[in-house]
Amino acid sequence: MKRVAVLGSGVVGRATGLGFLSKGHDVIFYDVQDVILKKLVTQGYDAKHIDFLDTNESDIFFFVISTPTENEKINLTYMMSAAKTLGKKLRDRKDYFVIVVRSTVLPGTTENIIVPIIEKASNKKAGRDFGVSMNPEYLREVNAEKDFKKPWVITIGTLDKKTKKIMGEVYKDFDCPIYYVSIKEAEMQKYVHNLYNATKIAFFNEMRLVSHCIGVQPDKIFEITADSAEAFWNKKYGLRNRGPFDGMCLPKDTQAFFSWSKKLKIKMNLLKGVIASNNIFESFWHKTK
């Protein structure tokens, strides 16, 4: 059993804490919002305001703090404030503990921003006095608790071997593949995960727009595509480092369809970007060959 503190008890934090409780771990929820705390306490869970955080009650501290995008930039204000608060309270801690960033943050954030704040506030050194991990979440909002308890994959980025061992023990009772990577790779992977989902939705929405413009039924077409396209049934399709897409079909067909759509005055910004991106990568590929 591990003693877990969840800093930030919204949808993801709640799902994380309840998931660990279901596996027998000791969990304390922390937040700044009284509404969230009152609800958790009413339901029988140990929940406290962050001001009353006792760092001796937990050994693993999960950051599940909001990182909103404002004016097209990530806002780390809440995350940095929580890191400073936790760091100050950890100053007198004698034994080893682990800090886990679970919030979605840009690559480099944990090591370049969060860790230095905690080190300065606690007067301790990462990798020596405490461990650091980045553990991205893959929870759907409406199924967050269910998704945490039955994950399809777990990714753990760590700074040192001791932290890797501890995080492995935390997740040992979860029945799914566990991937161990560096902290920056874990941060990057979460964005690749989200951006791929966003791109796939945007692609089919763009195809839906074209379908309606020419009077065909997109849903019927998409159902066939799900069976015909290798990118659907071969999950490794496109992952290997084989350079830009080429061959007899993809370059000519992307360009032909884009030119045709322009004649029909249909804006296809995603397809335009796909062609441009392939051309840019082609130049990069030849330089590195």
Is 213 a known active-site residue?
Answer: no
The average confidence (pLDDT) of the chain is 95
The single residue of 51, 249, 269, 287 carrying the catalytic annotation is 249
For residue range 214-250, what is the model confidence (pLDDT) as tens digits? Answer: 999 999 999 999 999 999 999 999 998 888 998 889 9
Rounded CA-CA distance 80/88 in Å is 12
Question: Which pLDDT value is given to residue 285?
Answer: 77
pTM as predicted: 0.93
Would you state the pLDDT for residue 128? 94
| 83-101 average pLDDT score | 95
Q: Residue 202's CB: how many other CB atoms inside 10 A?
A: 13
The pLDDT assigned to 289 comes to 67
For 167-191, the pLDDT digits (tens) are 999 999 999 999 999 999 999 999 9
Report the distance separating Cα 208 and Cα 202, nearest Å: 10
